[in-house]
Every structure is written in structure tokens, then in C-alpha cells.
Amino acid sequence: MSRAERLLSLMQHLRGHKHPVTGMTLAAQMGVSVRTLYRDIASLQAQGADITGEPGVGYVLKPGYLLPPLMFSVTELEALVLGMRWVNRSTDDELGAAAKQAMAKISSVLPAEMRRELDANTLLVGPRADPPGLTEHLPQLRDAIRRERKLDIDYTDANGASSSRTIWPFALGFFERQRVVVAWCETREGFRHFRADRLANVTTQNVRYPQRRLGLLKRWRAEMGITGEQ
């Protein structure tokens, strides 16, 4: 493991502890000597990491500090490139443009060697063939989710039946051929899933729904029996 990778690993270990952790514990987790661990702590502090503590007492990293992108490994860069290419191909124009801009920002601060790895990346995403209306409402849906706003929608189900609903959108699922809004439906008084390409007349209310989206997400996961990051 290179020194740069070791410093990145140390940052990740520190982020995993909310309370002070001793240098001996950190050294054991990373497989290095305590002396090396103390040198690495000092190096991170010199780079601006807000690490407080001292030998024998423990260390804690205050939130908000990020190492520059040069700390990415080649495999991490591959994951980022593949993910951003997928976003560019498989979401709406606004999110796709944001993915391109994010990759440009990362590329601009990479050292030459890592930039060559980025430019030479050959992990590709196949072309998409969107059903009509698949991405039409996605920017509005994402905005409503971010701002926790109610939506008035007209929806046509799989049987062709149409209905008007007021929903509280809190998640958006991206599947191979579908985009699905997860929401609490006031009309049905329960969690419901709505295909984005079957939505019409989507209107954002200037009203925040009465629960936080994270709470709704947790309730929905519990009701669906979903665990982990699915």
C-alpha cells in the first residue's frame, strides 16, 4: 500500500469512529506500527484535516474535511467513471449534465498519471432506448423529493385506469427500463409506487409534506422488509 493510499485508509477509519479512538487501535486496524500511525496523523493534520487528540488519549476527526481527488485509487476512479457514464446515459438531461461537470471537476485536479488512467478508461455503458415519457418528469420529481414537497399527479395504472392523486415523494428508483417514484399517497393512505412514464399533469405544491423524507424512507423499508442499501 502506498503512503497516499494509507492516508486515505486512515481517513476512512477515523470517519468510522464518532468518539476518540486510540492510536494503538487505529494502528492495529490498519496493520501498521503505532509510530507510523502517529506520523500519518501528523501528515493529515498538516494537510488541514481537523483531527483532535493526542497519543495515549485518542483521536477524532471532525466532519467536513475531504482529501483531494488525487487520493482515489485506480479502481475507485473506474467506479466513478462507470457510474457517471451510466448517469449520463440513463437519467434525465439535467442529471446527465451534472455527471459530466462532476467528472470534469475531478479530472481538473488529478495529477497527470491519474488523469491518463481516467482518459484511458474503457468501462463502457451501452446505449439506452427510453420508452416515451421515461425521463420527462424526473427533474421535477427530484426537486420535490429534495424539498419535501407534495405533488398533485394524474396517473394511469397497468390496466389503463386513470386517477388523480396527491403524493409525498421521497425516493426515486432507477431500473433498467423503468423509473419508479416511491411515495406516500394521501388518496390511498399508504405507500405506493408510480412509474414515471405513466405520470401526467405533475404539479408541485408549495407545501412541505408533514414528515421528513428520511423517516418516510425508513417506514417504507420496514414495511417492504428491505434491509441494507437497497
Domain boundaries, the chain: 3-67, 70-119, 138-224
Distance CA(85)–CA(121), nearest Å, equals 11
CATH for 3-67 (1.10.10.10, 3.90.550.10, 3.90.320.10, 3.20.20.100): 1.10.10.10
Name the grid cell of 120: 484511458
Note the pTM of the prediction, 2 decimals: 0.68
Three-state DSSP state, 155: strand
Q: What is the pLDDT along the chain (230 residues), one digit of tens a residue?
A: 667 778 878 888 888 888 889 999 999 989 999 999 999 999 888 877 888 888 778 899 887 665 554 567 778 888 999 999 999 888 888 999 999 988 887 887 777 777 888 888 888 888 776 666 678 899 999 999 999 999 999 999 999 999 999 999 999 999 888 899 999 999 999 999 999 999 999 999 999 999 999 999 999 999 999 876 55
Do 164 and 180 contact (CB within 8 A), yes or no? no
Distance CA 39, CA 10 (A): 11
Query: In the CATH scheme, what is the code of domain 138-224?
Result: 2.30.30
Determine the pLDDT at residue 131.
66
